[in-house]
Amino acid sequence: MSDEPSIPAGENQRPTGERRRPAGSVGHPAQHSPVIEPPLPSASLPAAQFSRHAISRRELLKSGARGASLLGFGAAAGFLSGRESKDATRWQIDPNQCIQCGRCATDCVLEVSAVKCVHSYGMCGYCKLCTGYFEPEPINLDEGAENQLCPTGAIKREFIEDPYYEYSINKELCVGCGKCVKGCNMFGNGSLYLQVCHDRCINCNICSIATACPAQAFHQVPLTKPYLLRGKGASAK
Amino acid sequence: MSRVNTAAQASRMPWETQSSTTGWKTAFLSASLFARLLPALVLLLLLVGVGSVFGVERFPPPDFSGHAVPQLVVPNPQPRSTGWLDVAVLALGLAVASWLSLRQRSRRGVVILSLASLAYFGFWRRGCVCAIGSIQNVALGIADPTYAVPLAVIALFTLPLVVALVWGRGFCAGVCPHGALQDLVLVKPLKVPGWLDECLRVLPWIHLALAVLLAATGTLFLICKFDPFVGIFRMAGPRVMLVSGVALLVLSMFVGRPYCRYLCPYGALLGVAARFAKWRPTVTPGTCTQCRLCECSCPFGALNPPMPAKQGRERIASGRQRIVLLALMLPLAALLFGWLGGKVGLASLTLHPEGKLATLVQAQEQGTLIGTPPDELTAFRQHAADRLTVFARATALEARFLYLGRWIGVAFGLVLALKLARIFFPASSPDYETDSGRCVSCTRCFSACPYELLRRGQPVSLPSEGGNRGSS
């Protein structure tokens, strides 16, 4: 910040180099009275040259433009607010259009994407060899990290009864990469799919992921029904 | 594929190469012959493998005797502020900024207001309720009847402009977090050469033109995508955003407000509005003695030296020259940039998802696509989307891009012509005056004026060499 300008000495002389101490100077008492005076009618700048006519024309044009602009802004604002609808919307992924390209994880404006994997348990086959959980060629069919498809280990696998296992998503760990979704949709029932989680989504004007989505799977859905869920028995909390 | 319409082939399509013999308009017509076969084809695809996409139960869910199948629970949308608090803070900030710069003439006040705005609009709201970005909402809202602009965003767009029409760019001075951030880190302002300054000041208009084109077509929000400082406000973001933000911040230590002057599209609009301002900051609170002390005090090149008005015949001749220049330049620039804008519009069609898809489908059908097919085509094939619909949409979109591109180009050309006219025929002014369009009301120049120091009761220090001359 430069509150005080640094002007080299010698640059601050008047062009004419002419200074006079005025009679009743109003300088600071502690100082030598500064050289302040009304502008001198010098040869280069005669006072009469700014004729009333020129100034008034410029002022007239300015106020005309000002009034026109104000009217324009008012009209535009009125026009737009007439279109404002009361129906609030939120962004959501249509799971049937999603191709699990992985851009949900990378293109969200949030540091960790608002898109996460959800699991419609009612549709799940509870498979022992879950293609959403395991690597394509797992070494063992167990919970070892080397066998898991999920890069953050966000899927929990729990034995229910032979040969059924239950899979659940840890939302804290899920980054929305859609790797498990791809596996589940390719060979399974498609009970794992991606959704915009509205506790995190900040509902941008134009969703950054939507513009990057190659399948155009992002849509604005009504706020009253903000999820596009598969199967039955899903509820919002 | 039969060639039905050769005239359609000859028409200009951005994705058509000269050598191609089957343009997709031809394909569009000929493919309708296959429309009858389409249902059977779709059924076949559904049977083969598309079922997986829609979640077919390959493995029937088990019936557990002793285990309850959990329900999927999804979080409810958070109630969000409607933005009226932001509008209220903005209105208050604008009022205080105008009062501080015009009535109070206090640099300290403006700095404190900048800090407060930076904290609220920058770090608290994370830079994402923003008058600069609201241009895009307004553009899309005007172009697309189905897009509803929130009332708060309309207010956010209009308020600073209306204030600029009356009191100048108080918004830039202390309300905009982008301006505040750059202004607060300015340590050693270097003077940008006049010619470079004038050239660079065209950039905001280019930014504005592209942003309006892309927003009005619903392609993307360019201003938000390439906003340099939002990454700093959020302390996170894409690498490009963070690197450009820090680079611009380092630059703004030595060049006054580089984003505001040479990039900000909203600043360009505010500058025009402020030219018609009723009141504006004046360097001196009294009369100007032309002591030249304020000359170097503006870090933003917004302080104009006195410009004597031409007299008599010279003045009439100059007025005539100006009219002739404008009469020649305005239509010429409008035509030239209208044509150029149309070209840019067509070229940016591929940025739109639907335009991109049509281009890719076209390229694949012609065999000009090299390498692995992109995700767009994978999705297109996987869902057996109707190529005729894709092409029809792209055609409609293309016309829209061309139309908008041309008119935005015309407007850009007119702005450029008026800018040139202002450079060749500067307005006369008797004293050192702030350039009403460029002045951001930062109030730095005030403390350079001896009259202002007298008004404040501060000591006026004049260099002895100049001060002693002519005295007793």
- pLDDT of B140-150, one tens digit each? 999 988 888 88
Average pLDDT over residues B172-201: 94
Non-local CB neighbours of A126 within 8 Å, separated by 6+ positions:
A160, A164, A165, A166, A167, B59, B61, B62
Average pLDDT over residues B174-198: 94
**Minimal-distance CA residue of chain A relative to B311:** A49
Average pLDDT over residues B352-368: 90
Give the pLDDT score at A86.
61
**Minimal-distance CA residue of chain A relative to B357:** A214
Which range has the top average pLDDT, A14-28, A207-221, B244-258?
B244-258
Give the pLDDT score at B333.
96
Residue B3 has pLDDT above 70, yes or no: no
Give the pLDDT score at A46.
45
- Coil, strand or helix at A166: strand
Residue A99 has pLDDT above 50, yes or no: yes
How far apart are the CA of A144 and the nearest CA of chain B, in angstroms?
A: 24
Residue A156 has pLDDT above 70, yes or no: yes
Is residue B142 within 8 angstroms of chain A, CB to CB?
yes
Tokens of B323: 């009219």
Give the pLDDT score at B2.
37
Count Cβ atoms below 10 Å from residue B247 Cβ, excluding itself.
12
List the single range of A181-190, B145-154, B165-174, B440-449 with lowest mean pLDDT: B145-154
Chain centroid offset of residue A100 CA: 23
Which band of pLDDT confidence, cut at 50, 70 and 90, is reported for residue A24? very low
Q: Which residue carries 């660079």 as its tokens? A: B200
How far apart are the CA of B6 and the nearest CA of chain A, in angstroms?
A: 32
Looking at per-residue pLDDT, the higher value among B112 and A24 belongs to B112
Q: Provide, as residue numbers in chain B, all residues whose Cβ is less than 8 Å from the Cβ of A18.
A: 470
Q: How far apart are CA A128 and CA A122, in angstroms?
A: 16
Residue A114 has pLDDT above 90, yes or no: yes
Selecting from B219, B379, B448 the residue whose C-beta is nearest the C-beta of A99 gives B379
Mutation site for B-interface testing, chosen from A216, A223, A232, A235 by largest number of B Cβ within 10 Å: A216
Residues 316-345 of B with CB under 8 A from A: none
Q: How far apart are CA B334 and CA B27, in angstroms?
A: 37
Query: Is the sign of the CA dihedral B171, B172, B178, B180 positive or negative?
Result: negative
Q: How far apart are CA A228 and CA A237, in angstroms?
A: 15
The domains of chain A are located at: 89-222
What does pLDDT average to over chain A?
Answer: 78
- pLDDT of B407-422, one tens digit each? 999 999 999 999 999 8
Residue B125 has pLDDT above 80, yes or no: yes
Give the pLDDT score at A40.
45
Give the pLDDT score at B266.
97
Give the pLDDT score at B79.
73
> Which one, of B254, B97, B118, B185, lies nearest residue A1 by Cα?
B185
Give the pLDDT score at A236.
52
Mutation site for B-interface testing, chosen from A11, A19, A101 by largest number of B Cβ within 10 Å: A19
How far apart are the CA of A146 and the nearest CA of chain B, in angstroms?
A: 26
Contact (Cβ atoms closer than 8 angstroms) between residue B303 and residue B283: yes
Q: How far apart are CA B157 and CA B72, in angstroms?
A: 41
- pLDDT of B37-78, one tens digit each? 444 444 444 444 444 445 567 888 888 888 888 989 899 887
Residue B119 has pLDDT above 80, yes or no: yes
Residues 366-425 of B with CB under 8 A from A: 374-376, 378-379, 382-383
> Which one, of B154, B126, B128, B123, lies nearest residue B140 by Cα?
B154
Q: Provide, as residue numbers in chain A, all residues whose Cβ is less than 8 Å from the Cβ of B375.
A: 99, 101, 103, 214-215
Contact A226 B77 (CB under 8 A): yes
Give the pLDDT score at B4.
38
How far apart are the CA of A153 and the nearest CA of chain B, in angstroms?
A: 20
Q: Provide, as residue numbers in chain A, all residues whose Cβ is less than 8 Å from the Cβ of B54.
A: 96, 190
Contact B375 A101 (CB under 8 A): yes
Average pLDDT over residues A30-42: 45
What does pLDDT average to over chain B?
Answer: 85
Contact A189 B61 (CB under 8 A): yes
Residue A84 has pLDDT above 90, yes or no: no
Residue B387 has pLDDT above 90, yes or no: no
Contact B138 A35 (CB under 8 A): no
Give the pLDDT score at B466.
46
What ipTM did this prediction achieve? Answer: 0.73
Residue B341 has pLDDT above 90, yes or no: yes
Is residue A56 within 8 angstroms of chain B, CB to CB?
no
Which band of pLDDT confidence, cut at 50, 70 and 90, is reported for residue B222? very high
Non-local CB neighbours of A23 within 8 Å, separated by 6+ positions:
none
How far apart are the CA of A4 and the nearest CA of chain B, in angstroms?
A: 7
Is residue B66 within 8 angstroms of chain A, CB to CB?
yes
Residue A8 has pLDDT above 90, yes or no: no
- pLDDT of A189-233, one tens digit each? 999 999 999 998 988 878 889 988 999 999 989 888 899 998 865
Contact B57 A214 (CB under 8 A): no
Give the pLDDT score at A34.
46
Give the pLDDT score at B323.
92
Strand partners, A193: A118
Q: Which residue carries 């012609």 as its tokens? A: B366
Residue A5 has pLDDT above 50, yes or no: no
CB pairs A-B closer than 8 Å: 317
Contact (Cβ atoms closer than 8 angstroms) between residue B325 and residue B424: yes
Looking at per-residue pLDDT, the higher value among B41 and B448 belongs to B448
Contact A189 B55 (CB under 8 A): yes
Give the pLDDT score at B133.
93
**Minimal-distance CA residue of chain A relative to B356:** A214
Contact (Cβ atoms closer than 8 angstroms) between residue B264 and residue B401: no
Average pLDDT over residues B362-366: 89
How far apart are the CA of A39 and the nearest CA of chain B, in angstroms?
A: 5
List the single range of A175-184, B189-198, B362-371 with lowest mean pLDDT: B362-371
